[in-house]
Amino acid sequence: MTDTALPNPAASNLTKPNTPTTDTTAIVTGGARKIRRHTRRVEPIYYFFLVPTLILFTLAITVPGVMGIFFSFTDSIGIGEWNFNGLTNYVAMFSDPSILQSYLFTFGFSIATVIVVNVIAFMLAVGLTSRIRFKTGLRTIFVIPMVISGIIIAYVFNFLFSNSLPNAAAGSGIPWLETSLLANPDLAWVAIVIVTAWQAVPGTLLIYIAGLLSVPGEVYEAASIDGASKAQQLTRITIPLVAGYVVINIILGFKGFLNAYDIIVGLTNGGPGTSTRSVAMTIIAGFNGGDYAYQMANATIFFIVAVLISLLQLSLTRGRNAL
């Protein structure tokens, strides 16, 4: 007979891994909760920076905005007594041809300027990120218009459009340029688009440069090995990969051009007539002319439009790599 080895309970206990008991698990879980609670604690220094800024923002922007919306339902002229008149200002605003004209000009000008700015800025960004000499110096030169005041730029171009360009056209035999573009009701908006784009291109250019530099160089190397031309690389690699930056520039540019004021004031002051008067100019002119409540209704509608555009921006850019 062969001896059969009996199992050793002590040995089997030694080979079994120790499993945590309920008490041990509770202790570990409780400790994790304490650590998590401790990490979620906000340091007081953050409130030191947040609270003063929040108070200033509320007093300088939120409170005046709410008061303006309130007075848009009155007949106030900005001072003195006032009475509620309900939606009278809003009804009158939607039937006012001068306000409708200002919205039409503002949106048309904004769309045209967005197209011009983004096309020029993207072309410059592609050139300034290629292998050319002095590209750092050229980037500096192209950014200069961004740091110059808009009203100064407008006065300089006003002189060019009113004097230099007509004189040059007269000497070159170009009759339709012998008179200032700013005095032509049909072409004054073109001059405004040119000047606004001249100042806005640098900011858009910087965003496009950042987007182009974020594209991995290995992608272009692989495309070159496969025989792709520069034009094919641009249309099939560069543009799709920087599409998020294109969306950001279009939305931000459109929002910014809706508030156009200083360049228009320096170039045409809303003229000839009211052909180049923007919404911002109409609102400010109404404040100065005693139509406070009426133009506050206009400002409220304009604010709603800006909010809708902001929501559109968030919906279009949510989840994109550019963000």
Model confidence at 1: pLDDT above 50: no
Span 125-153, pLDDT tens digits: 998 888 777 777 788 888 888 888 889 99
Residues of the domain holding 210: 96-288+297-319
pLDDT at 311: 85
pLDDT at 72: 93
pLDDT at 135: 75
In a domain, 21, yes or no: no
pLDDT at 29: 53
Percent of the chain's residues with pLDDT above 90 = 41
Q: How confident is the model at residue 15 (pLDDT cuts 50, 70, 90)?
A: very low
Mean pLDDT (whole number) for 29-43: 59
pLDDT at 228: 87
In a domain, 57, yes or no: no
In a domain, 143, yes or no: yes
Rounded mean pLDDT of the chain? Answer: 84
- pTM of the prediction? 0.78
Model confidence at 18: pLDDT above 70: no
In a domain, 81, yes or no: no
In a domain, 10, yes or no: no
Q: Residues of 226-252 as b/e, b for ≥16 C-beta within 10 angstroms?
A: eebeeeeeeeebbeebbebbbbbbbbb
Span 207-237, pLDDT tens digits: 999 999 988 888 888 988 888 888 888 889 9
In a domain, 191, yes or no: yes
The CATH number given to whatever domain includes residue 270 is 1.10.3720.10
In a domain, 56, yes or no: no
Span 248-259, pLDDT tens digits: 899 889 988 999
In a domain, 278, yes or no: yes
pLDDT at 265: 92
Model confidence at 187: pLDDT above 50: yes
Tell me how many domains the chain contains: 1
